[in-house]
């Protein structure tokens, strides 16, 4: 399928140079733990989601910013090699690229610290460029970008007739202005609890959390890690899917793989159940493969 025949997914979001550290466990406060390996990795929720959308088959377009450093060169090269159109990613002189350090433990779980760098300085002119939005069906946004940038992108998407999918990660309160522009909200158990006040520990509680948010959003998707995922369209019964059985290697980036595949399925106008099945399979494939 040629590029102009593929559904167009725009990602306005973060780009991070990730340093992955493998250790038996994550350190406690004041503790030093001896790890056994480390490696550089392409990252940032926005970058990962754009790559996942391209992998799924979308015409994936990335808007964002990197610094004029070696990290930025690495990130741009990785986007190009993954089939993502990075022509709307600016290189900012005198600014460091975004980066993160993530520690993956023996169980496959992880913790991370991000430094946003250039991601906080994305030019609004890039976000509103007509070329970026030509033929776009879906835009994906995340909370690693300033809300002002997300609002600009959501408004541009609405003008272009594209659906607005927001992965509200990491958690922060959503202004009413931004919330009113969101078509599909995607949150994990922690973010769902913060936004709805409903603790999420399984699929039943995930469905309750989704129901607590559906008055604000047309569609809510709550991922519950190893338990699975729940999706809810306003006025319809919830769709609940268990996680697919796989051998867990690492959960790092699993949510981004889910969101990128979900966006591609949305752009194909699949039903909510079909979208969740596609995204669930992509996440399962991701967590069973080595991170990095």
The CA R_g of the chain, rounded to the nearest whole Å, is: 18
DSSP 245: P
- Residue 113 to residue 281: CA distance in whole angstroms: 27
- Cα–Cα distances (Å) from 174 to 142, 185, 195, 224, 288, in that order, read 11, 11, 9, 21, 33
Catalytic residues: 256
Return the structure tokens found at 146. Answer: 């300033």
- Residue 289 to residue 284: CA distance in whole angstroms: 9
- Cα–Cα distances (Å) from 217 to 37, 221, 239, 270, in that order, read 42, 10, 16, 19
Place of tokens 């090269």: 77
- Residue 112 to residue 101: CA distance in whole angstroms: 6
Report the first-to-last Cα separation within the chain, whole angstroms.
28
Return the structure tokens found at 261. Answer: 């595949």
- Residue 187 to residue 224: CA distance in whole angstroms: 9
CA within 13 Å, CB half, 215: 5
């Amino acid at each position: 399928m040629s590029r102009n025949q593929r559904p167009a997914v725009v990602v306005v979001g973060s780009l991070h140079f990730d340093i992955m550290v493998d250790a038996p466990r994550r350190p406690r406060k004041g503790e030093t733990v001896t790890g056994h390996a480390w490696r550089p990795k392409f990252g940032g929720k926005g970058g990962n989601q754009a790559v996942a959308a391209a992998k799924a088959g979308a015409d994936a377009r990335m808007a964002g910013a990197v610094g004029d450093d070696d990290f930025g060169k690495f990130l741009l090269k990785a986007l190009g090699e993954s089939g993502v159109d990075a022509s709307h990613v600016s290189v900012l002189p005198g600014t460091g690229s975004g980066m993160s350090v993530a520690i993956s433990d023996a169980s496959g779980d992880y913790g991370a610290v991000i430094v946003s760098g250039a991601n906080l300085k994305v030019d609004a002119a890039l976000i509103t460029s007509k070329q970026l939005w030509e033929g776009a069906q879906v835009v994906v946004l995340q909370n690693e970008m300033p809300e002002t940038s997300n609002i600009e992108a959501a408004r541009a998407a609405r003008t272009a007739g594209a659906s607005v999918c927001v992965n509200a990660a990491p958690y922060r309160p959503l202004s009413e202005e931004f919330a009113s522009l969101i078509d599909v909200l995607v949150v994990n158990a922690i973010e769902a609890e913060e936004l709805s006040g409903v603790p999420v520990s399984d699929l039943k509680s995930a469905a309750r959390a989704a129901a607590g948010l559906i008055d604000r959003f047309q569609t809510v998707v709550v991922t519950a890690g190893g338990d699975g995922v729940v999706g809810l369209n306003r006025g319809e019964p919830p769709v609940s899917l268990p996680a697919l059985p796989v051998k867990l290697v690492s959960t790092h980036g699993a949510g981004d793989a889910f969101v990128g595949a979900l966006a591609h399925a949305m752009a194909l106008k699949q039903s909510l159940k079909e979208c969740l099945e596609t995204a669930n399979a992509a996440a399962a494939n991701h967590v069973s493969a080595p991170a990095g």
